[in-house]
Copies of this chain bind each other. A is one copy, B any other.
Amino acid sequence: MRGGEGERLELQAKKRPRQARAQATFDAIVQACARVLAEEGYAAVTTNRVAELAGVSIGSLYEYFPNKQAIVASALARAMREIVEEVGASLRVAVALEGQPRAGIDYWMRAMTAALEKRGALLRVALREVPFLWDIPEVRDLSDTLQHIAQEGRKKSARVVHFDDPEASTYLLMTMVWSAILQSVLYRPSHLSRERLTSTLVEMVLKLL
């Protein structure tokens, strides 16, 4: 019942399922946890609720996870890996559109938006309510991973950021774009449509390159 400070939490899954049946319950648990998180919030994630929704017994949870946090961590780590994969793939497409910078940037912005939008509810809860979020390796590394992706794109592209400090400006550009998209997904500003924001964002990025 501790929170998110001193204690070292065990966030790894306990044991690998060996039989197919076991793999199914393992997945059911992780998936059920993700659903409760997204639909009911972190406070609703009780071990009993997750077990119930997964259709397994409470005892089975502790067969594969050392504690509640490890279940949540598994669910969130999975989502992060998916996001990184989608964002990375979209960058490769964008770079392939070398000839038309606007089209490339546009595609990339929209892909990032889609990747976050698809998991909006989950991300909202994760970022706002999960106390040990930043103890999850996949989350902690996300920022750096995105930086790598951005650097990679810059190197392969003809366009370059031309400011005094290329590293700092690349970092900032990526951070700003990512934050703006995330913000609009999480906060859902009512007076400005997503479409309007995206196209304006593309303009701004082009101007900064």
Contacts and interface: CB of A to CB of B under 8 A. Distances in A.
B189 A201 contact: no
Interface stretch (A79-87, A111-119, A123-131, A149-157): A123-131
Chain A interface size range: 35 or more
Interface stretch (A25-33, A70-78, A92-100, A175-183): A175-183
A197 B179 CA distance: 16
Contact of A200 (B3, B165, B179, B192): B165
A175 B180 contact: yes
Contacts of A2: 43
A131 B163 contact: no
A21 interface: no
A176 B180 contact: yes
Contact of A5 (B44, B127, B176): B44
Given A5-B40, A167-B192, A176-B179, 9 more contacts: A4-B42, A127-B128, A169-B200, A175-B179, A176-B176, A176-B180, A179-B179, A179-B183, A204-B208
Interface of A: 2-5, 40-44, 127-131, 133-134, 143, 163-165, 167-169, 171-173, 175-177, 179-180, 182-184, 187, 189, 192, 196-197, 199-201, 203-204, 207-208
29 contacts: A3-B42, A3-B44, A3-B129, A4-B41, A4-B129, A5-B41, A5-B43, A5-B44, A42-B131, A43-B131, A127-B128, A128-B128, A128-B130, A163-B200, A163-B203, A164-B203, A165-B200, A167-B192, A168-B200, A171-B197, A172-B197, A172-B200, A175-B179, A176-B176, A176-B177, A176-B204, A179-B183, A207-B207, A207-B208
